[in-house]
Amino acid sequence: MAEIGIVGAGVAGMSAAARLRAAGHGVTVFEANAYFGGKLTAFAQDGYRFDAGPSLFTVPHLLDELFTDAGKNPRDYFSCEKIDPGCHYFWEDGTQFAAPSDPDKFAEKAEEVFGADPQKIKRYFDKSFELYDITEDVFLKSSLHKLSTYLKASTLKSMLQLYKARLFSTMHEVNAAGSHHPKLTQLFDRYATYNGSDPYSAPGTLTVIPTLEYRWGTHLPKGGMHTIAVSLHKLCTDLGVKFSFETPVREIVTEGGRATGIKTEADTFAFDRVVSNMDVVPTYRRLLRGEKPPGNLERQERSSSALIFYWGIREKFPELGLHNILWSENYREEFRCLFERKTLYDDPTVYINITSKHVAEDAPEGCENWFVMVNAPHMAGQDREAMQRKARRAVLDKIGRISGRDIAPLIETERVLDPTGIEEQTSSHLGSLYGTSSNSKLSAFLRHPNFSGRIKNLYFCGGSVHPGGGIPLCLLSGKIVSDLIS
């Protein structure tokens, strides 16, 4: 069995660590921060608890599989509840839509609120689910960059059906044809943001994303999102994975075209295999300084970032749920600003997550903990303070127009996280949340592989490499790396 060193204790890094250790390898994880979880962290402030990073949990069976594959009972580590309606949507003309998680009920509700054809909506979901089933094994569960993937019977079966993948239409075009109502089109277009992309440019293949919510539902782990990271860390330690926190890696040591170890400020450690859970761009820039990154890596378009306000609100808003969207009046212009002008739109779409709706101890009695996010461009020389001021003003104005209330006086505690802070805390290149965007037809194939083609025994996992960002894909990224090594 091999001795394996892993750089980074994010979701993908711990997923890989647990699987590799369960397979009998020795595993040591080096983490620059004093905590585990990467973006999936939490903090408390003035009596409020906030999940700092990802706020949506779908496809819980992928997390269950990690524990069962390691010989453990998932319920000994975490549990979650299904949330229905999954999300509450608000438009400035007064339209509200509490989206059921069940596709049939969603279609019925869409007919009631928008006058949409329920059969057309059901066909949209059926095609989304079918496309997910066609692409899952190839694009999500296997390395796209290994010949062996394409020699499998399941891959051949999928490739023969790729004509259904909607590669030559944009996501927006597919959604507009499938929903036949502008508000529903906007709702389905939003799923492009789940991997930091633009629905007006990204291929129609991304219409698979709603499958994650409407086939398996939206869930909230008991205790909040951070308990996912806590459960992964506990699984790793129970299995015997070693962690070294507050230990920044300075170099991935290579000799004769092979990765042979990890160098920190204090020492150099020999390993048979090395896995980087750090964003792939800083991995090359900082840890593999003698190696040139792949030619297209730094030229690829970056995904969007986020600007987040964590607000303790001294009141309750019964019309809001766990997940809430307050829509921009001009969605196309919002994405033009994000990806073409690299700036915030004056009227951004606002997302509000409130875990205290289900976890009472997350806020003082009579209060709510608001995680308020707008999509933001990746770092491109913008004035950081000016962007924060503009976003705060736009968010308060949007909430005021839709709710009819001035919430500024109700904010009794506040913290802000912007693209610069995201890069500083998580080494995400330029603050982009998902590495590269998926705004091209070949973006899935252009993402960095889970292994190095030039350096043997070097592997990559996490949101910046295949298959992409978000908790489900990071769990799968760790599994792909484990399979490649084992």
Could you write out the DSSP letters of every residue in 201-249?
A: TSBGGGGGTHHHHHTT-EEEETT-THHHHHHHHHHHHHHT-EEE-S--E
CB 268 within 8 A of CB 49: no
Kindly list the distances between the CA atom of residue 155 and the CA atoms of 135, 159, 173, 325, in Å, as whole numbers in the listed order.
Answer: 9, 6, 27, 37
pTM greater than 0.85:
yes
Q: Tell me the C-alpha distance between 400 and 423, whole Å.
A: 31
Whether 17 contacts 434, CB under 8 Å: no
Q: How far is Cα 9 from Cα 30, in angstroms, rounded to an integer? A: 7
DSSP-derived 3-state class of residue 193: helix
Cis peptide before 203 (omega within 30 of 0): no
pLDDT at residue 197 in the model: 97
CA dist., res. 346 & res. 145, Å (int): 41
- Per-residue CA distances from 112 to 109, 116, 185, 329, 365 (Å): 5, 8, 16, 22, 35
Both structure tokens of 390:
């503009």
| The residue to which tokens 């989304």 are assigned | 128
pLDDT in tens, the chain (486 residues): 899 999 999 999 999 999 999 999 999 999 999 999 999 999 999 999 999 999 999 999 999 999 999 999 999 999 999 999 999 999 999 999 999 999 999 999 999 999 999 999 999 999 999 999 888 877 777 887 776 766 677 766 666 666 566 777 999 999 999 877 999 999 999 999 999 999 999 999 999 999 999 999 999 999 999 999 999 999 999 999 999 999 999 999 999 999 999 999 999 999 999 999 999 999 999 999 888 887 777 788 999 999 999 999 999 999 999 999 999 999 999 999 999 999 999 999 999 999 999 999 999 999 999 999 999 999 999 999 999 999 999 999 999 999 999 999 999 999 999 999 999 999 999 999 999 998 987 776 678 999 999 999 999 999 999 999 999 999 999 999 999 998
- Whole-angstrom Cα distance, residue 419 to residue 12? 21
Contact 12, 478 (CB under 8 A): yes
Nearest to 362 by CA among 219, 218, 194, 227: 227
Among 291, 341, 262, residue whose Cα is nearest residue 4: 262
Run of H or E including 258: strand 258-264
* Start-to-end C-alpha separation, the chain: 9
- Amino acid residing at 419: P
- Contact (Cβ atoms closer than 8 angstroms) between residue 3 and residue 271: yes
> Cα–chain-centroid distance for residue 452?
23
3-state secondary structure (DSSP) of residue 3: strand
CA distance 236 to 9: 10
Secondary structure E strands in 314-430: 323-326, 350-353, 368-376, 411-417
